[in-house]
Chains A and B, each alone.
Chain A
Amino acid sequence: MLNLSLQSLSSNLEKKTFSSLELSKFYLQRIKHHNPSLNAFITIDEEKSLLMASKADELIAKGKKLPLTGIPIAQKDIFCSQGWTTTCGSKMLENFIAPYDATVIEKFNEVGAVNIGKTNMDEFAMGSSNETSYFGAVKNPWNLDLVPGGSSGGSAAVIAARLAPGATGTDTGGSIRQPASLCGFTGLKPTYGLVSRYGMIAFASSLDQAGPMAISAEDCSLMMNVMTGHDRRDSTSIERDKEDYGSKLNGSIKGLKIGIPKEFFGEGLDSSVQKVIDCAIDEYKKLGAEIIEISLPNNHLAIPVYYVIAPAEASSNLSRYDGVRYGFRTKEYDDLMDMYFKTRQEGFGEEVKRRILIGTYVLSAGYYDAYYLKAQKIRRLISEDFTKVFKKCDVIMGPSAPSVAFKAGEKQEDPLAMYMQDIYTISTNLAGLPAMSIPAGFVNHLPVGLQLIGNYFSEANLLNIAHSFQKNTDWHLQSAKGFE
């Protein structure tokens, strides 16, 4: 059952080689065995998962099987799941049992997928190493001393350690792609608005987007078919005809124009990572692609802009955690003010508080124009860079992260160094474009991810471009020692 693609898991379930119950038990067993060393899950609920598996088996027996029916999926703990504790990695929501399902969860439930557990994450998705979680850091399966990346670090460790065949993530500035790079698997951040944000606990609303994390591009396409779709409960959800994200797989990429932005290969990029990326691009050349040098002149401003916009939105989004209606409330307080101040001091972790303060600052009277408005204007410049470039090329390629996985604790005291982890991923969130990270090779036995950035709504193409690479390489099939 291990290492099978979602497609073959699905046909095995259909042929009744094994049942969903057997498959789920198998993965729960692996989780029980490996989770203590990885800390990839915040909540595991065997009873609930197995109940879903039995229901899936009933559907299969009735001949009502859909592609993901009966398949265990690990859900990032940012998605509200009815009856499940949904913490968002925060003490603030430590005991919060969601009374409703996020649209993403609802969609997986509708097709009869099995929720195999809620994965660990940086608190409120703020972080690039999964060290800001209130529930402890997640370890990288390739080397337990290293970080898995973040914020979807739990889901990343789950895929890398094969604790589930698929997992969900969310990406505000790189939170799917950077951990996919650091843990060696395939992750996709779709076009903003393609996957509903309803029930996905907000970090920065104009940037947040959920996406699939799995071994291969083909697996991601199956998950995309479930996750996407217009949702009337999310005003920023896009109304589009339903698309089959696997429809373009196996198409030829001869003549594909790949844009290589020179800004992605400058200072800050680890030279051995660059070598791996160069090799991967050479592989594409062999497959008949054409390489074009391009420029994204404002990319260096993406991080400054992001660290204005994301904290600004977050500072407002996180005001609802006030200890009044749900969640954590401090034990002792003198009056209302005291209750607010202590609840939020004790309920939020350091990084979250820092970002709330930055966000409050850039929006406050006298600073709004110089920071928030300025950032929004440069956001447009960054976005327009992409519009120009996509007139010349079909896809942009480069590294997903500047380095391989780093040591736990290494950047914890240095927020700026940590923020640089997202230097290649953030601009696509600002523009709302789809982007992927796929395994491209190794540096010192640690995985390196190649980033693919596409034009709006080009996910099916992007998945095929990734799939073409994966048909000709086996980087994505390699698994970490001890988790084979």
Chain B
Amino acid sequence: MDWDIVIGIETHVQLKTKSKQFSGASIAYGNEPNSQACLVSLAYPGVLPVLNNESVNCAIKLGLAINAKIAPRSIFARKNYFYPDLPKGYQISQMELPIVGPGYLSINANGKNKNIRILRAHLEEDAGKSSHGISQDKTGIDLNRAGTPLLEIVTEPDMSSAEEAVTYAKKLHELVQWIDICDGNMQEGSFRCDVNVSVKKKGTDELGTRREIKNLNSFKFIKQAVDYEVNWQIETLEDGGKIDQATILFNPETGETKAMRSKEEANDYRYFPDPDLLPLLVSQEKIDEIKKSMPKLPDEVQESFQKELGLSEYDASEITANSEVTKYFLALVESKVNPKLSANWILGNLYSRLNEEGIDINKSPIDTKRLAELIKRIEDSTISNNAAKEVFDFIWDKSSVTVDEAIEELGLKQISDSGEIDNLVDEVLKNNQPMVEEYLSGKEKAFNALIGQIMKASKGKANPSQVSELLKQKISK
């Protein structure tokens, strides 16, 4: 039997603020337990929440970036449940009337554009952390993370494969960094996905029962978890089994998903409007102001790279897939080097070297200034493309060496002196008379062979276009 896969994703994006959602404690990662637990994070008797302005700005930015409506009036609600890392016994979230309404994010899946509808995005706060096994039978509670600003972005069930789910997650991950509302650090939990998966018989409208895979914090895990889950669901149904709605966890070590022990039906969150927080009003002026401050979005930038800088669709989309890469690229373009050549270098040598060594582009040992110099030397024919690669490798771990110094040291400067090239051409012509004959008798290939010979004689330093021109002149004489 054939099955359709139906996937929706809820992403928790940790917002790039200095302080917590409702209090002035720091949200820095990795400090000593409870050193960032202020009275509000600790839910002391009598303390009250006051919303962080920057979080609201971040939510508006996201809304604008996904073509969504920003609610002029939104409401905060309490989600009530007991858990030791939830100090108030409720989480402040938004239920009815979230700040960001329906929008969409378009992804490129199998070469086709597809809009993934986003149902809503709402502001809420993170819980603390439980560390198990402190001593036997005990759990330790660290509230440094409690109250950290989150934006939860919820899609419609519009994805139909693990690949699409990953593509969406990657695109959203890049977008939130691009508009500078999240640091994107998945290891530290700044970007976590809950993935809803169900399957239904191909062609039917009736949706299957969904299971929610919680807290996936890498793209690889999303792929593995969804693949495993889909197979499990299909097998279960084909064996005549039934799927129960459940919250499940993915175990990266075994690659398996497993339902959580806590009973779903025992939860009744008793949402109600938080009486400590009044309706949040967002004016059109505020939205306009934020809009003005926002960078162009990746899709727009890609289009302008294609139209104005002549990049191929592939290159433009690869460059704009990441804001840091785009920044790097734009710095090159600004220093007046050829955009196409720049894109080639970034996506070619730079990328493979960065990947090899696991370095982010903004920490590249060859900064934009040095790469621009290198590309300039190709453009002004000081060195050949191949020689440039040698220079690139040479200066990679020598931050104090300039491109020109490297060219000098490696002796890679092209011979552009026409007298010298003249001599080289004459010599090669003299020594390869049969090849010249072949060319003259119509074998075009021989011409390239001759150029090869000349380049070889120059140890690669002769300017190829100069060589070709001279050769043409001389042969036809």
Contact = CB atoms under 8 A, between A and B. Distances in A.
A135 B184 CA distance: 52
B268 interface: yes
Contacts of A99: 39, 44
A316 B269 CA distance: 11
B39 A88 contact: no
A363 B47 contact: no
Nearest to A102: B46
Interface of B: 39, 42-51, 78, 80, 82, 84, 87-90, 139, 141, 143, 268, 270-272, 275-278
A316 B46 contact: no
Top-8 shortest CB links A-B: A319-B89, A206-B275, A363-B270, A205-B275, A320-B43, A199-B46, A201-B45, A80-B46
A235 B276 contact: yes
A313 B273 CA distance: 10
Contact of A322 (B46, B80, B82, B276): B82
Contact of A365 (B42, B51, B268): B268
A325 B44 CA distance: 9
A319 B46 CA distance: 13
A235 B46 contact: no
B82 A319 contact: yes
A316 B272 contact: yes
A319 B50 contact: no
Contacts of A100: 39, 44
A325 B39 contact: no
A197 interface: yes
B25 to A, nearest CB: 14
Nearest to A325: B42
Given A316-B78, A322-B89, A363-B80, A93 B275 contact: no
A233 B48 contact: yes
Interface of A: 79-80, 86, 88, 93, 96, 98-100, 102, 197-202, 204-206, 232-236, 312-313, 315-316, 318-320, 322, 324-326, 336, 340, 360, 363-365, 368, 372
B311 to A, nearest CB: 49
B45 A80 contact: yes
A233 B87 CA distance: 19
B278 A235 contact: yes
26 contacts: A80-B46, A93-B45, A96-B45, A197-B46, A198-B47, A205-B275, A232-B50, A235-B277, A236-B278, A312-B272, A315-B80, A315-B270, A316-B78, A319-B82, A319-B89, A320-B45, A320-B88, A322-B84, A322-B89, A324-B141, A325-B43, A325-B87, A326-B44, A336-B84, A363-B270, A364-B268
A336 B271 CA distance: 24
A319 B80 contact: yes
A360 B275 contact: no
Contacts of B80: 315-316, 319, 363
B304 to A, nearest CB: 43
A402 to B, nearest CB: 28
A364 B88 CA distance: 18
A162 to B, nearest CB: 29
A205 B46 CA distance: 10
A151 to B, nearest CB: 16
Contacts of B50: 232-235
B270 A360 contact: yes
Contacts of B272: 312, 316, 363, 368, 372
Given A197-B48, A316-B78, A204 B270 contact: no
